[in-house]
Amino acid sequence: MDHARYDKRRYPIVDVREGYAEWSRTYEQTVHDEMDVRLLERLRSVDWPRVRVALDLACGTGRIGAWLRRRCPEALIDGVDMTPEMLALARRTGAYRALHVADVAATGLPAAAYDLCTQALADEHLSELDPLYREAIRITRPGGAFVIVGYHPHFLMAGVPTHFDRASGESVTIRSYVHLLSDHVKAAHGAGWSLDEMDEGLVDEAWLVKKPKWDVYAGLPVSFAMVWRRREAAR
């Protein structure tokens, strides 16, 4: 579903590439670890130190790659993103073996190449989830996992799209879609994934310390994490 029907901010809407090219300048200062890293830290079903080859889908500036670098010390980590300006910053982290400009739904990477795929804070920009889950299972080896962390659909439905402030001070939204959690389950099951673990993060005290204006959203779910396992050959 297009986010427009829920949008209470009504900022001008820009496409993904244009938006992140511009947001790349300030992205790291505006995205808080409470959104995604806190959920990653709580996951129990992923044996991080045993990961040897990982792919960070929609890796952006490399926040998750840097986290993986610490949690999976033996791993070679690749990254994919469609915005070259974000990838240029990811390169500077030194966390990645290789970085590719590509769509998460068509990476062009070899089949069954990765023990682990991750994707953080990008599914709301995809109009459809099926192609993402199909591509992720194609490139993950049997027994491997896909960890997806997302901006919670309930938070999007509360009216707050993914947005940033331009250098001029104008706020703009990056085109967003609402995918219910059940949409994830349907798309993932359709591609052949099994759910190992799931978690959700609420707007709590830790959030309010960083974003006092979010008092009006206190208690709402703001992000989610799912660990999908490839049990069999991809369909």
**Residue 99 binds ligand SAM, judged by CB under 6 A:** no
Helix, strand or coil, per DSSP, at residue 140: strand
191 vs 116: CA distance, rounded Å: 16
| Letter string b/e over residues 17-49, b meaning 16 or more CB atoms within 10 A of that residue's CB | bebbebbbeebeeebeebbbbbbbeebeebebe
- Minimum distance, C-beta of residue 16 to ligand SAM, in the bound complex (Å): 5
227 vs 199: CA distance, rounded Å: 9
- Minimum distance, C-beta of residue 61 to ligand SAM, in the bound complex (Å): 6
If binding means CB under 6 A, how many residues of this protein chain bind ligand SAM?
Answer: 20
> Which range binds ligand SAM by CB under 6 A, 81-89, 185-193, 208-216, 226-234?
81-89
Q: Which of residues 17-76 bind ligand SAM (CB under 6 A)?
A: 20, 31, 36, 58-60, 63-64
84 vs 102: CA distance, rounded Å: 9
In the complex with ligand SAM, the residue whose CB is nearer, 108 or 143, is 108
**Residue 104 binds ligand SAM, judged by CB under 6 A:** yes
Helix, strand or coil, per DSSP, at residue 173: strand
Q: By CB under 6 A, name the binding residues for ligand SAM.
A: 16, 20, 31, 36, 58-60, 63-64, 81-83, 86, 103-104, 120-122, 125-126
